[in-house]
Amino acid sequence: MIQPELWSIPLSTLTPDGLADKSAVLKQRLIDISNRFSDVRFATSLAAEDMVITDAIAKSKTKIKLFTLATGRLHQETVDMVKTTENHYGVSIAKIYPQDSDVQTFVDQYGMNGFYDGEEPKKACCGARKIKPLNAALLGADAWLTGQRREQSTTRTELNFEELDDARGIAKFNPLFDWTEADIWTYIKQENVPIHPLHLKGYPSIGCEPCTRQVKKGEDVRAGRWWWLQSDSKECGLHVNQ
């Protein structure tokens, strides 16, 4: 049987001058955010967009704190990327774990892999493993950053650089909101940013292991997230104001 061709890292399209301009704008955005707010935190998934922001944070020497949501269902490659990133940049990435009681409540009601049964149990799992830990991670912060881009999905086409996170009453920034996928990968190659191993295996978007699969060439970049759900919205709830 012929195996389908998988998504692969796109070719670079930015000129060196174009990349230099985008890089300068990104670093200035981070500096401006850091100057405006006293406690800024960045939620990194260790995937491509978030590695670009991590690189820019390190090079701009801002005091933005990094954390990752250690859901308990991540690929081993993602777990290993935390240490790889810390060693490469000399930074510390806080690991935010879900509460055992929240996970157990989900398992008791739906089963360990009950998220496959529909949107409601999927939201419940993300709530226990991602949203509640995110709330805990942002306690005391007055701003936070994401790696979201307009180009990523139909739900992000109107994404702005700055938003108000109504659910938490703090500012939220998307410093890559106007970057293309090709921009991201041009930066990564030019700046020698560490690459998550799954990107080299056909995964353009990476989440928890049981909820992420490889994407075929030509498919939407988020088609591998929660693929069993028939929905245009490929979101876990982290970026939906409650």
- Residue 42: partners with Cβ closer than 8 Å, 6 or more residues away: 50, 53, 54, 57, 64, 65, 66, 67, 144, 145
Indicate the pairing of strand 143-145 with strand 162-165.
unpaired
Q: Is 211 a catalytic residue?
A: no
- Asked if 104 and 128 count as a contact pair (C-beta separation under 8 A), the reply is no
Instruction: Give the residues across from 94 on adjacent strands.
Output: 67
Residue 172, judged by CB atoms within 10 A of its CB (0-12, 13-18, 19+), counts as buried
Of the candidates 125, 126, 208, 236, the residue annotated as catalytic is 236
Q: What is the DSSP letter of 99?
A: P
Shortest CA distance to 238 belongs to which of 154, 155, 158, 141? 155
Active-site residue set: 236
